[in-house]
Amino acid sequence: MATLVCENIVKNYKDKKVLEGVNLEIEQGKIYGLIGRNGVGKTTLLSIMTAQNPATSGQVYCDGERVWENRKALDHLCFSREINTMTPLGPNTLKIKEYFRVAKALYPNWDQKMAEELIEHFGISIKKKINKLSKGMLSMVTIAIGLASKADITILDEPVAGLDVVAREDFYRILVEEQASTGRTFIISTHIIEEAAAVFEEVIFLDRGNVLLKSNTEELLSRALHVTGDADAVDAATEGLNCHHAEMMGRSKGVTVLLEPGQQLKEGYDVTVQPLSLQNLFVALCGKEA
Amino acid sequence: MQEERRTRVYELLAHDKSIYLQISEMIETDIMRGILEEESRVPSTNELAKLYAINPATAAKGVNILVDEQIIYKKRGIGMFVSPGAKDRILQKRRSMFYENYVKGLVVEAESLGISKEELINMIQES
């Protein structure tokens, strides 16, 4: 089992700053959710964490060892990326089983039986060519490769993209069962936040090139509140607190509050306090236009 | 059985409560209804995680509440079981919470609607 640490990761593509000094520690045995808006640098960060993309500056360590060009460290990691139906040379006519053959060479703990069973479970033939697969089927192949890699730290980039609701449910079940029975670490990036919230032990919000927050999901939600009421009362009750995403409607006001440990709303004001879903909290914190 | 439980969790997930509390309450409700009898085995943390597609750590937190309250107990290496007297203990707990959780809110809402105590009592007697 392994831990992964990012130290001050900076990534620039020409003049564009994508990551602006990311510090992140991934502990073993947890399912992490990586959430961020389009173009915020999620895939870039994940590819740097697994040494598939060099950082402009900063280091990634797996169990204290640099991962860059380090076979020993990389043996602990799997980044199952989105598979394209096109290659620079034309349509991708490789078969799923050929992808599995590559994966077997790449991952020392590769479980061929599990990979084949998952593909069969998803109702796909292992002999199918990649360019004949739908978007959902491509996601299923990346899921099968990620899970069957049996890597200590397995990263899945938008694994549920294109999957219907039944297949998504199915994936979450397979994921928690695998995690519970092996203690592996998973990092899952997704845009479908709400239905996955219960699956993530911790969530990481990535916003504008940096980690906005990393927290235990339950703990985070327990200190996130939506406060509404008369604007003056809301302002008084939330004075000095971390307020986000204020919305005015005539004299009434709604605001999202993220309490720090030990903080609470000021008592004695006529306001309505409601808990927030992870999705609404994300919108409140990261939804503002850049 | 599995289908029924899943529907219930979706309803409950719409509520404001933390998932681990929902898990512990669901097990309690199954014990109260006699679906889980005393000394019978309770689904393991991993089984619960898979059944409800939730994080195993969250499932464990829900289960541990019940262990702390001695509603279920662990047999090392075998699993978790419903404690003798669990049903009565849950009943007592829920009764003591009934006033806080239901009656108080009922009275406040009735007051704000201008429903008098007498009218409220009449409604309860008629229902």
Cβ distance A198 to B50 less than 8 Å, yes or no, reads: no
B74 & B115 share domain: no
B70 & B101 share domain: no
Choice between A289 and A48, residue whose per-residue pLDDT is larger: A48
B21 & B46 share domain: yes
Q: Is the pLDDT of residue B5 over 60?
A: no
Which CATH number fits the domain that encloses residue A110? 3.40.50.300
B59 & B20 share domain: yes
Task: Tell me if chain B has a CB within 8 Å of the CB of A181.
Answer: yes
Tell me how far apart the terminal alpha carbons of chain A are, to the nearest angstrom: 39
CA dist A186 and A184 (Å) reads 7
The residue of chain A nearest to residue B17, with distances taken between CA atoms, is A275
- A179-196 residues labelled b (16+ CB within 10 A) or e (exposed): bbeeebbbbbbbeebebb
The residue of chain A nearest to residue B14, with distances taken between CA atoms, is A277
Please give the average per-residue pLDDT across A94-114, as a whole number. 96
pLDDT digits (tens, 9 = 90+) for A210-229: 999 999 999 999 899 999 99
Mean of the per-residue pLDDT values of chain B: 86
What is the phi-psi region of residue B82: left when phi exceeds 0, alpha when psi lies from -120 to 50, beta otherwise?
Answer: beta
A103 & A245 share domain: no
Task: Name the domain boundary from A163, A193, A217.
Answer: A217
B94 & B68 share domain: no
Please give the average per-residue pLDDT across B76-80, as a whole number. 90
The residue of chain B nearest to residue A168, with distances taken between CA atoms, is B53
Task: Name the domain boundary from A181, A199, A217.
Answer: A217
Task: Tell me if chain B has a CB within 8 Å of the CB of A120.
Answer: no
CB A187 within 8 A of CB A156: yes
Structural domain boundaries enclosing B30: 2-84
Percentage of residues in chain A having pLDDT higher than 70: 99
A167 & A256 share domain: no
CA distance A245 to chain B (A): 21
The interaxial angle of helices A112-121 and A135-148, nearest 10 deg, is 150
Cβ distance A172 to B53 less than 8 Å, yes or no, reads: yes
B102 & B42 share domain: no
Read off φ and ψ for residue A184, nearest 5 degrees: -70, 165
3-state secondary structure chain A: CCCEEEEEEEEEECCEEEEEEEEEEECCCCEEEEEECCCCCHHHHHHHHCCCCCCCEEEEEECCEECCCCHHHHCCEEEECCCCCEECCEECCCEHHHHHHHHHHHCCCCCHHHHHHHHHHCCCCCCCEHHHCCHHHHHHHHHHHHHHCCCCEEEEECCCCCCCHHHHHHHHHHHHHHHHHHCCEEEEECCCCHHHCCCCCEEEEEECCEEEEEEEHHHHHHCEEEEEEEHHHHHHHCCCCCEEEEEEECCEEEEEEECCCCCCCCCCCCEEEEECCHHHHHHHHHCCCC
Choice between B2 and A105, residue whose per-residue pLDDT is larger: A105
Read off φ and ψ for residue A212, nearest 5 degrees: -75, -40
Residues in chain A closer than 8 A to B26 (CB atoms): none
Q: Is the pLDDT of residue A270 over 70?
A: yes
Mean of the per-residue pLDDT values of chain A: 93
Q: What is the number of domains present in chain B?
A: 2
Please give the average per-residue pLDDT across A165-174, as a whole number. 94
Tell me the residues of chain A between 271 and 290 that have a Cβ less than 8 Å away from chain B. 274-275
**Kind plus residue range of the DSSP H or E element containing B101:** none
A102 & A134 share domain: yes
DSSP assigned state of B73: E
B54 & B7 share domain: yes
Q: Which residues pair with residue B73 across a beta bridge? A: B81
Please give the average per-residue pLDDT across A182-202, as a whole number. 95
Token look-up 């053959």 returns A101
- Residue B48: strand, helix, or coil: helix
A22 & A148 share domain: yes
Structural domain boundaries enclosing A17: 4-217
Task: Tell me if chain B has a CB within 8 Å of the CB of A259.
Answer: no
Task: Name the domain boundary from A197, A217, A237.
Answer: A217
CB A116 within 8 A of CB A126: yes
Task: Tell me if chain B has a CB within 8 Å of the CB of A192.
Answer: no
- Identify from B16, B55, B63 which residue to disrupt to test chain A contact, counting A C-beta atoms within 10 A and taking the largest count: B55
Cβ distance A221 to B57 less than 8 Å, yes or no, reads: no
**Residues 6 or more apart in contact with residue B93 via CB below 8 angstroms:** B69
pLDDT digits (tens, 9 = 90+) for B11-65: 434 446 788 999 999 999 999 999 999 999 999 999 999 998 999 999 999 999 9
**CA distances from residue A135 to A70, A156, A220, B40 in whole angstroms, order as listed:** 33, 15, 33, 45
Cβ distance B53 to A198 less than 8 Å, yes or no, reads: yes
Cβ distance B13 to A179 less than 8 Å, yes or no, reads: no
B76 & B107 share domain: no
The residue of chain B nearest to residue A174, with distances taken between CA atoms, is B50
pLDDT for res B15: 47
Residues in chain A closer than 8 A to B56 (CB atoms): 176, 179-180
A207 & A230 share domain: no
Please give the average per-residue pLDDT across A4-11, as a whole number. 96
Q: Is the pLDDT of residue B109 over 90?
A: no
Closest CA to B63 of B72, B51, B52: B72
B97 & B80 share domain: no
B64 & B116 share domain: no
Please give the average per-residue pLDDT across A80-102, as a whole number. 92
A90 & A232 share domain: no
Q: Is the pLDDT of residue A163 over 60?
A: yes
Please give the average per-residue pLDDT across A179-195, as a whole number. 95
CA distance B17 to chain A (A): 9
B69 & B95 share domain: no
Cβ distance A30 to B20 less than 8 Å, yes or no, reads: no
A106 & A183 share domain: yes
A80 & A159 share domain: yes
Interface of B with A (CB under 8 A): 13, 16, 18-20, 45-46, 49-50, 52-58, 61
A238 & A148 share domain: no
What is the phi-psi region of residue A209: left when phi exceeds 0, alpha when psi lies from -120 to 50, beta otherwise?
Answer: left
Which CATH number fits the domain that encloses residue B14? 1.10.10.10
Q: Is the pLDDT of residue A209 over 60?
A: yes
Give the pLDDT band of residue A95 (cuts 50, 70, 90). very high
pLDDT for res B8: 37
Q: What is the number of domains present in chain A?
A: 2
Residue B20, both tokens: 């681990």
Please give the average per-residue pLDDT across A143-153, as a whole number. 97
pLDDT digits (tens, 9 = 90+) for A34-76: 999 998 999 999 999 999 999 999 999 999 999 999 999 999 9
- Identify from A28, A168, A176 which residue to disrupt to test chain B contact, counting B C-beta atoms within 10 A and taking the largest count: A176
B15 & B51 share domain: yes
ipTM of the complex as predicted: 0.78
Cβ distance B46 to A177 less than 8 Å, yes or no, reads: yes
Rg of chain A (C-alpha set): 21
Q: Is the pLDDT of residue B2 over 60?
A: no
Q: Is the pLDDT of residue B91 over 60?
A: yes
A203 & A107 share domain: yes
Give the pLDDT band of residue B108 (cuts 50, 70, 90). confident
Q: Is the pLDDT of residue A111 over 60?
A: yes
pLDDT for res B16: 63
